[in-house]
Amino acid sequence: MRVAKVMPMRMPVALLLFVLGALVFVPVCSIVGAQSDRVADSSAGDSSVPDVQIGVLGLFHPTQFSLSATAGCALVVHAGEERIVLEKSSGIDSATVRISDRDVVVTAGARVVRAAKLTVNGRKSEPVDFVLAIPEKIRRRYHGTLEIRTSAGSLTAIVTMDSETAVASVVAAESTLETPLEALKAQAVAARSYLVASRGRHHGFDFCDTTHCQFLRNPPPPNSAAARATAATRGLVLTYDSRPIAAMYTRSCSGLTRTPGELGLSPAAYPYFSVECEHCRAHPARWSRRISAKDAVRLHSFDESARLNIDRRLGWDVIPSNTFAVKTDRDHLILEGTGEGHGIGLCQSGAKAMAEAGADFRQILSHYYPNTTVVNWAGPVVEPRGSGPSARLPWFLFDFNHPRVWCVR
């Protein structure tokens, strides 16, 4: 019997390498893909965004503050070499802080201490809850550490807080009770992106608490929608060309968002593509104003600097937006317009409508910030290309004395 000799099958070298490469490549790609999906889908990764320093209540140019401890918390006030503890159980839970020449004077019970500045924290130097008020004007609760010093004849209060606390506070200030959760998540990512991309906007601290930077109020309760939206998007920011963007937003566009160039402004690092907003096109926020021809000198639509110049002189909401038509009535002008704010970036009214129609926060952000990527930011804060404020943001955002310069409301 003849036994057939079986010869080994020969495979071309190129084909062999291809097969081996595929066997190696497929598992690796699967792992990378799975990891990418976890990052993309997980909104609760660890955030390395550092604490932020917020200048608070500066709009009032205060010369006196009232500082109070909350229930169950002890405030340790450091003034020079002196140390004062404010705590409800001790019977002294509040202090008055006032300016005297270039010093800060603290009065707590019978103690009066004078120093160049004061700082406030918990017993172990940790962030703590406290209430800061300007008598007969405003009262706010904060969580963080506090520094009060003098500047140009008034007191400057700076709260150092966790960035996520700041984001939640902004979301709470910029939203209403009926805003859907997905719209709040989009707002949270935009607010966090701004904090990452544009810190250092003021001398001695990063941001103020007005819409010159971002509108900020009390931190919301942990179970609030604003807090839940912030937690669900923890660490997520918008990037363009691999860099975080200082995301701008507006209360209501006029059916089409604008670019800085369309409004006669310097370009931002992110070009802000103009996009359609179906909600505002179908349901525009209409307004009407009557102003004197003298006050309206050099005013015309789609000129943000001219609009803001008038708002600075006459009030922030005298001309709510850049989209309007003008009629003459003797020595006055009648302005009929739509929209609220500069109209750049995310439209809060449109985002709310998109969320109500079923869109998630990523779809909302993708619509209003085309060509951006949502990433879990784990790197350092990157300085934008160029130098100086104009390289970071359009110049019109810089006006500390005008509380709503970029009109996000």
How distant, in Å, are the alpha carbons of 218, 229, 268, 356 from that of 288? 33, 35, 30, 29
Same domain, 155 and 87: yes
45: pLDDT strictly greater than 80: no
Domain boundary among 127, 144, 161: 161
CA distance 233 to 220: 16
At residue 380 the predicted structure's pLDDT band, cuts being 50, 70 and 90, is low
Same domain assignment for residues 131 and 181: no
Same domain, 208 and 83: no
CA-angle at 306, arms to 301 and 309, nearest 5° = 140
Tell me: the pLDDT tens digits for 314-340?
Answer: 877 888 998 899 999 989 999 999 999
Region of 394 please: left (phi>0), alpha (psi -120 to 50) or beta. Answer: beta
Residue type, 245: I
Can you read off the two tokens belonging to residue 4?
């057939």
Measure CA 69 to chain center: 27
| Predicted pLDDT of residue 402 | 32
Instruction: Over range 194-200, report the average pLDDT.
Output: 90
* Mean pLDDT of the region 337-365: 96
Q: Are residues 102 and 223 in the same domain?
A: no
Residue 317's pLDDT is 82
What is the number of helices (H) and of strands (E) in the chain?
Answer: 9, 20
In a domain, 47, yes or no: no
Is the dihedral angle over the CA atoms 192, 197, 198, 204 positive or is it negative? positive
Q: Span 60-76, mean pLDDT?
A: 96
Non-local (6+) Cβ contacts of 234 within 8 A are 43, 44, 45, 46, 47, 164
Q: What is the 3-state secondary structure (H, E, C) of 47-110?
A: CCCCCEEEEECHHHCCCEEEEEECCCCCEEEEECCEEEEEEHHHCECEEEEEEECCEEEEEECC
Would you tell me how many other CB atoms lie within 10 Å of the CB of residue 141? 14
pLDDT value, residue 48: 56
Whether 138 and 196 map to the same domain: the answer is no
Nearest Cα neighbor of 115 from 128, 101, 134 is 101
Taking residues 345-359, report their average pLDDT.
98
Residues 242 and 365 placed together within one structural domain of the fold? yes
Number of domains into which the chain is organized:
2
- Lowest pLDDT segment from 26-40, 154-168, 222-236: 26-40
Q: Which of 122, 164, 120, 172 is nearest to 146 (CA)?
A: 120
Pairing of the two strands 128-134 and 64-69 = antiparallel
Query: Are residues 133 and 223 both part of a single domain?
Result: no
Per-residue pLDDT, 296: 85
Q: Please give the pLDDT value at position 131.
A: 98
- pLDDT over 90 percentage in the chain: 63
> Residue 389 has what pLDDT?
35
| Spatial contact of 350 and 279, defined as CB atoms under 8 Å apart | yes
| Six token digits for residue 88 | 């409800």
User: How far is the C-alpha of 249 from the C-alpha of 261, rounded, in Å?
Assistant: 16
Domain edge (last residue) among 99, 127, 161: 161
pLDDT of 13 > 60? The answer is no
pLDDT recorded at residue 357: 98
pLDDT band at 200 (very low <50, low <70, confident <90, very high): confident
Q: Where do the H-state alpha helices sit in 198-303?
A: 225-232, 278-282
Domain membership of residue 350 as a residue range:
163-409
**Per residue in 241-264, pLDDT tens?**
999 999 999 999 999 999 988 888
Q: Is the pLDDT of residue 36 over 80?
A: no
The last residue of a domain, from among 161, 187, 207: 161
How far apart CA 229 and CA 247 sit, in angstroms, is 17
Using alpha carbons, select from 200, 193, 186, 139 the residue that is nearest to residue 166.
Answer: 193
Closest C-alpha among 400, 36, 409, 16 to residue 203: 400
| CA gap 111, 126 in Å, rounded | 24
Is there a single domain that holds both residue 148 and residue 200?
Answer: no
List the structure tokens of 235.
């660490």
Highest mean pLDDT among 17-21, 22-26, 35-39, 142-146: 142-146
Do 136 and 178 lie in one domain? The reply is no
Average pLDDT over residues 339-363: 96
Q: Are residues 332 and 395 in the same domain?
A: yes
Q: Say how many Å lie between the first and final Cα of the chain, rounded.
A: 96
The predicted-structure confidence for 99-131, as pLDDT tens digits, reads as follows 999 999 999 999 999 999 999 999 999 999 999
pLDDT score of 224 = 96
Does 275 or 269 have the greater pLDDT score?
275
Residues 304 and 243 occupy one common structural domain:
yes
Determine the 3-state secondary structure of 339 from DSSP: coil
Task: Kindly report the average pLDDT of the chain as a whole number.
Answer: 83
Mean predicted confidence (pLDDT) in 76-94: 95
Half-sphere exposure of 63 (CA within 13 A, CB side): 6
Residue 77, domain CATH:
2.60.200
> What pLDDT is stored for residue 303 in this prediction?
81
